[in-house]
């Protein structure tokens, strides 16, 4: 196995590519380890004047509330000074926009329910739920199904 790092100042976002002839257990382990490092990115959040650095893997979803953006964990509510479009660029790939005003952590989704009154996402070990807009429903469903394989 060869390891190579290429530095290119023109690159906007760091990308890790694993090139192999076939899928092996070592490749799977390497992918999982790299993913775990990327997913656990710390984000600066606030509660009043207190500042917290929370791992992105602990966040269920982000949503806008009037002029602020809130981050929801299983038990707490935090505020961030970032906008949703900034969070989309910053967050790992397990986060996805589900409406004009929300981004969810796909790893924490427990159920996706479609009904006449609205499409709801519920989360593991939490009472919190959030609506998925019709525009994003198919994409959310596809991403969740692709994670099962």
Greater confidence (46 vs 92) lies with 46
pLDDT value of position 34: 74
- Residue 137 domain-assigned (yes or no): yes
Is residue 104 included in any domain, yes or no? yes
Compute CA 27 distance to the chain's CA centroid, rounded to the nearest angstrom: 23
Q: Quick check: 140 and 147 in contact, CB under 8 A? A: no
In tens, the pLDDT along 86-145 reads: 998 888 888 999 999 999 998 899 988 887 777 889 898 889 999 999 899 889 988 888
Identify whether 4 is part of a domain: no
CATH of the domain at 133: 2.40.50.1020
Q: Are strands 61-65 and 102-105 parallel, antiparallel or unpaired?
A: antiparallel
Range of the domain at 53: 25-148
**How many domains is the chain built from?**
1
């Amino acid at each position: 196995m060869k390891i190579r790092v290429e530095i290119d100042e023109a690159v906007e976002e760091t990308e890790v590519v694993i090139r192999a002839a076939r899928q092996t257990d070592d490749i799977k382990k390497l992918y999982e380890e790299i993913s775990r490092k990327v997913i656990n990115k710390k984000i600066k959040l606030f509660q009043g004047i207190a500042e917290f650095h929370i791992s992105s893997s602990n966040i269920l979803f982000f949503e806008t509330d009037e002029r602020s953006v809130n981050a929801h964990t299983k038990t707490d509510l935090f505020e961030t000074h970032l906008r949703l479009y900034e969070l989309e660029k910053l967050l790992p790939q397990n986060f996805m926009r589900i409406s004009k005003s929300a981004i969810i952590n796909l790893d924490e989704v427990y159920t996706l329910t479609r009904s006449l009154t609205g499409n709801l996402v519920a989360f593991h070990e939490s009472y919190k739920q959030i609506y998925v807009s019709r525009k994003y429903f198919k994409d959310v469903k596809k991403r969740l199904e692709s994670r099962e394989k």
